[in-house]
Chains A and B, each alone.
Chain A
């Protein structure tokens, strides 16, 4: 019923605006949050079911489990056979997948609009009645271990990507990797899968977002029909994510037999996502690394010719987050010279701030990027789910844009001064193995 829907009024951004996505929100009696985002520009819809669980919820000895579990969600439920989820979505012209990160796990589909019931049925059946067995677990354990080899163990710098997080955090929640260790994956048991499902895969621990060519009232009735009878479960405790105050720089060297060139990875501990200071760091990174005219590329790659590539990216987690800087030193360049040049750029911002021109550029790039992220309704549905699980509010899909556009040059300078300090820093240097001696 439309009367039960709450239409949100959202503040528009400043002069440079963003097309506003209208949202309807509702919570079912079993606690499932539902957000509907109508957009009839193409005869398709995107659906995302985002669960409030990620690798941060794992315990020692069970790393990689949230992601392994995500694979199990495609292995069948009471009314859907092993793998049938795939066959039904793909063979009816859709696309689908599931992903796991530190904070959340999501499952999503996009389909022509006449297949709405199909998507709702498939998502509801696995939320209600996941069916697991040993053969499927063994098979998916193999697939996940191949995923790890493909992305980490058989790639240059793969292990360094794990090492930078390992060294940056003390709290187990974010210290360990999403993909998990081979040994822990070997140890995962069927009972673990069943327990994990019961604790985390309840309607009151998830948000369902639906964007696209839908009628909100009709869509909500359908959601109620498919999901309404799934029982709620006790809300799981949120893991403690806090970190001790950092007292000094941390460094390590990784000798990588698969690498042919060294690589420098640096992180700084920054505040959680969707806070004023994290937002300032987001705009700092956009300013310093947004495009080829920005300081990182101009200084490190073009002018001084210290690096072949560079990247500066902040993340926005529920808990303490990281700003990463990565660069590959040119042949003949000492990694320490490249490292010093990176610090010099950041020190200059801390000392003198950024220019009005740089900020204007960053804002415009951010606006274009945000608009591009609205191109498909699936992207919209996924973003709403992600923001809701991480920061509790679907309307952030509209509101975050204004917040970031309002970040000032002073705030950026203050954040650089406060957070980009040696005591918050972790440095991982990868060297090709031959150079060890």
Chain B
């Protein structure tokens, strides 16, 4: 909605500042006069109730009775990682096309049935993930009707040829639209730099893969992958397991199928440090993404890096934001983060800066990377980071779907049953040494991939100061040097 553009002011402070800055100086300043409760509210996240049906479908229920709604989240443990090599997007196409026709309902009938309930129901499959999802949300009085619709899509989608053709045309136009967005161009080049031509490199479909999808190949993908032993059904909201289970059994109890072969993680050889410049003429900012491979989700370093990243760039009270926005005014926001999956996900920092400060901003970013590796995090700053992560737990109680998501992902990745019960304690126990070790290991200057999306006429020369440069156009094609 253009008329209510909410203009967010996200500012930050360095957790290191302890009131030493003189008034009027640019640095943040901590007076510590505000009344802070020293207690961290002890919160235990409600565990889901779990039931596995005889056909292998795992059902997980998180209750929350504040509002008369219910949300379903069906995870199919096959996703974009399982796309055929020449058809990136197959999992996404299949998931998104579930609602375009079943044996009993046309595309329009499905849309009407969902809208008549005031509900939402859609399939999706994110690039880089091994999961396809079908998510639905509605009023609790419609719990059974909505589940029936969802089951119809999952089990009986027919991928009608005319709807597939229409969908493909829409996809091609979307693809064209995405290429005008600098954030998309940055993501595309960054993932390609980390994963080469392996599945996790893909962030979008291609014109060729869109062209290749057919009713038959989509139905085949669905038939092989959408089977009960390859799925979790999460339910969150104003329900109980007792109430919901008979509905689930009725809609999914006779669902059958043999579990498919799981995606086999491959090893990725990290590329040497380099600069990848995406030439986007007319840009008034440079979009910067810089990072490298991190870790798999099951790696015990996960929590240590979570703490270190909270200090480095994990929010508006972290160092990158402080330095690059509050101190220097180079950007509206600078953050770092990492993701971890069945394969090593990326660690990266991201910011957009005006053209003329591209070089000093990048220099400062690299200096922060060096500092978090080299210097132990001062105890008060680390304490802030740990408390921030732990105390934030209370807020998650307001979001049952997000809670359910945590437990579903723990199960998906094979983390211990009590993972989220122990998480806060693990965060609180992280030492400065452990956080620094994690930073050293996962912020990796020797293999740092620096992606710059901007006008090459303006930033081309400075890019060379940061490493060997490869130049690409907005269509993703490498330009001759």
Contact = CB atoms under 8 A, between A and B. Distances in A.
B447 to A, nearest CB: 28
Contact of A79 (B34, B315, B328, B398): B34
B264 interface: no
A3 B101 CA distance: 60
Given A93-B394, A364-B117, A83 B326 contact: yes
B213 interface: no
A81 B396 CA distance: 29
Interface string B373-393: 000000000001101111111
Closest 8 CB pairs of A and B: A93-B391, A142-B329, A81-B29, A364-B118, A83-B13, A83-B28, A293-B111, A291-B115
Given A84-B31, A291-B115, A375 B391 contact: no
Interface in A26-85: 39, 41-44, 67, 70-71, 73-76, 79-85
Contacts of A298: 108, 111
B283 A113 contact: no
B41 to A, nearest CB: 4
A365 B142 CA distance: 13
A224 interface: no
Contacts of B66: 19, 39, 41-42, 374-375
A437 interface: no
A317 interface: yes
Contacts of A117: 35, 37
B166 interface: yes
B34 A308 contact: no
A170 to B, nearest CB: 16
A136 B14 CA distance: 16
B166 A305 contact: yes
Contacts of A114: 37, 39, 41
A92 B399 CA distance: 19
Given A81-B17, A86-B11, 19 more contacts: A41-B64, A42-B394, A44-B398, A81-B13, A100-B7, A101-B3, A121-B35, A143-B326, A143-B329, A144-B332, A146-B330, A146-B353, A154-B283, A302-B108, A361-B112, A368-B137, A369-B118, A375-B67, A376-B399
A67 B37 contact: no
A91 B3 contact: no
A368 B284 contact: no
A83 B115 contact: no
11 contacts: A84-B34, A85-B11, A91-B15, A94-B391, A112-B395, A115-B37, A153-B284, A154-B285, A298-B111, A324-B3, A328-B173
Contacts of A139: 26, 326-329
B34 A313 contact: no
Contacts of A121: 34-35
B9 A97 contact: yes
Given A91-B384, A139-B26, A376-B398, A102 B3 contact: yes
A80 B325 CA distance: 19
Contacts of B67: 19, 371-372, 374-375
B388 A92 contact: yes
A138 B6 contact: no
B169 interface: yes
Interface of A: 19, 39, 41-44, 67, 70-71, 73-76, 79-88, 90-95, 97-102, 110, 112-115, 117-118, 121-122, 125, 131, 133, 135-136, 138-147, 149-151, 153-156, 161, 164-165, 178-179, 257-261, 265, 290-294, 297-298, 301-302, 305, 308, 313, 315, 317, 321-322, 324, 328, 330-331, 357, 360-361, 363-369, 371-372, 374-377
A248 to B, nearest CB: 22
A51 to B, nearest CB: 13
Contacts of A161: 2, 5
A118 B35 contact: yes
Task: Determine the main DSSP class of B at the interface with A.
Answer: loop
A109 B328 CA distance: 26
Contact of A44 (B33, B65, B166, B394): B394
Contacts of A44: 394-395, 397-398
A317 B112 CA distance: 31
Interface stretch (B175-183, B252-260, B413-421): B175-183
Given A86-B11, A91-B317, A371-B139, A81 B397 contact: no
Contacts of B389: 93
Nearest to A97: B8
Nearest to B39: A114
B462 interface: no
A117 B112 CA distance: 49
Given A150-B352, A154-B352, A375 B399 contact: yes
B269 interface: no
Contacts of A290: 115
A150 B285 contact: yes
Interface string B146-183: 00000000000000000000100110111011011110
A146 B352 contact: yes
Contacts of B35: 117-118, 121
A297 B283 CA distance: 33
B317 A142 contact: no
A409 B166 CA distance: 33
A374 to B, nearest CB: 6
B193 to A, nearest CB: 22
A99 B43 contact: no
Given A88-B36, A260-B180, A293 B352 contact: no
Given A92-B387, A93-B387, A156-B181, A81 B115 contact: no
B68 A146 contact: no
B271 interface: no
Given A81-B28, A84-B13, A97-B10, A324 B69 contact: no
Given A43-B43, A301-B170, A368-B118, A143 B6 contact: no
Contacts of A155: 181-182
Contact of B34 (A88, A142, A265, A293): A88
Contacts of B33: 79-80
Given A74-B9, A102-B3, A93 B395 contact: yes
Given A101-B6, A324-B1, A367-B139, A149 B285 contact: yes
B6 A99 contact: yes
Contacts of B64: 41
Given A139-B326, A151-B5, A93 B29 contact: no
Nearest to A131: B23
B391 A92 contact: yes
Contacts of A164: 2
Contact of A154 (B9, B10, B182): B182
Contact of A43 (B12, B31, B394): B394
B162 to A, nearest CB: 11
Interface string B25-53: 11111110111110111010000000000
Contacts of A100: 6-7
A92 B36 contact: yes
Contacts of A136: 26
Nearest to A119: B34
Given A146-B352, A165-B3, A374-B67, A95 B395 contact: yes
A147 B333 CA distance: 8
B114 A292 contact: yes
B119 to A, nearest CB: 7
B9 A87 contact: no
Contacts of A154: 182, 283-285, 352
B173 A368 contact: no
A83 B329 contact: no
A384 B191 CA distance: 43
B112 A293 contact: yes
Contact of A361 (B41, B68, B116, B397): B116
B118 A315 contact: no
A372 B384 CA distance: 32
B1 A313 contact: yes
A70 B395 CA distance: 25
A76 B173 contact: no
Contacts of B138: 368
